[in-house]
Structure 1
Amino acid sequence: MERCSWVGSDPIYEAYHDTEWGVPERDSRALWEKLVLDGFQAGLSWITILKKRENFRVAFEGFDPEVIARWGDADVERLLRNPGIIRHRGKIEATIGNARAFLEIGDFSAWCWDYVDGAPLQPRFASQGDVPTQTPLSQRMSKDLKAAGFKFCGPTIVYAWMEAVGMVNDHTLQCHRHHPVALLG
C-alpha cells in the first residue's frame, strides 16, 4: 500500500494519514481545534503534536472555545506548568485569543469552507515535491484570520491546516488515499 511520502513508517503517522488527514471536516469546533494544533506545531514536527494531542484535549477542556475564551493569566500559568503539552506562552495566549475570535466569527465552518466554495480543492500532484507549502488562497485566508483576531495562523500553517481538514486533497496520485478522499467532497 503506497502512502504520501511524508508519512514514513511511524504507526501514529500511518493511522493519522489513513483515517484523518485530508478527510473533509465540517464541524466548527473540530476545525478550530485543528487550527490551534497546527499553530502549536509551528517550529516543531507534526508527530510531536500527534503524540501530545490527547494531553492538549484534556488541558484545553476539549477545545471548547466558550470555556477557553474566559481564561486569563492564571490559566496561562497553569498550562505553562503542564509537561503534557507544548509550553509556549505565545501559543497558549494565542489560543485564548483565538477562542474569542472564533466566537466572534459565528459559524466557523461556513466561514472557512466559503474559501473553497464549500467543496475540497482537488489538485493532482504526482509527488510530494510538487505540493506547495502555501498558496495565494492560504495567504488570503491567513490575512483574513489575522484581521479577525487570530494569531499563529500564517499562510504555511493555514495551508497545512487546509490539507489536514480536507479543504484541499493533497494526497499524491500514487497514494492509496487520493481517490477515496476525492470522493468524500
Structure 2
Amino acid sequence: MQSEQWYNCLDPELEALRTRARNAVHAHNTCPPDARGAMAPELQALFARVGPDCLLEAPFHCAYGLNIRLGARVYFNAGCVILDTAQVQIGDDTMFGPHAQIYCAQHAKDPVERAKGLEIGITVTIGRNVWVGGGAIVMPGVTIGDNAIIGAGSVVTKDVAAGETAVGNPARPLTRR
C-alpha cells in the first residue's frame, strides 16, 4: 500500500489499522468541543504530522490517519473525509469547506479483482494557502498547487496549477478575461 502498488484491502493487518483509525475518529467526533479543542489527542497521535494551530471540525473521517501530513494552520470544516490509502500532504494555511473529500484509493476496474479487495492508493498533494470549497472531491493522484482555489462541488480529477481557480465536474480552470 505504501509503495503505491496494488494490494488487498481485505488484509487483516490493514483492518487492524482501520480499526485504530475508527477509534481515534470516534474519540474526535464524540468529545465535547470544549474538551476536544482543535483536534482530539487520539486523532492527532494517529496522523503522520500535524503542524501548529490546525483545526478539524467534527464530524471528520479518515481511513488510516497514518498517511496524513498537515502543515500549519490547516482547517477542515465539518463533514470532511480523507481516504488516505496513500500519502496525503497538505500545506500551511490551507482550508477545506464542509464535506470536502480527498480520495487516494482506486479500486480494480475488473469486477472479479475488485470483489477480491484489490486496490491501489495514489498520493494526493495539496499546496500552501489553498481553498477547497464545500463538497469538493479531490481524486487519487491529484496535485493542487499553492494559492489555488477549488470551487464548491467540484470534482478534481487532474492537477491544478498554482494560483489557478478550478471549478466543475470534472474541475477545469476558469478562463481569464
- Band of TM-score, shorter chain: under 0.3
Greater share of strand residues, 1 or 2? 2
Q: Give TM-score scaled by structure 1 length.
A: 0.27
Q: Which structure has more RCO (C-alpha within 8 Å, separation ≥ 6)? A: 1
Calculate the TM-score normalised by the size of structure 2.
0.28
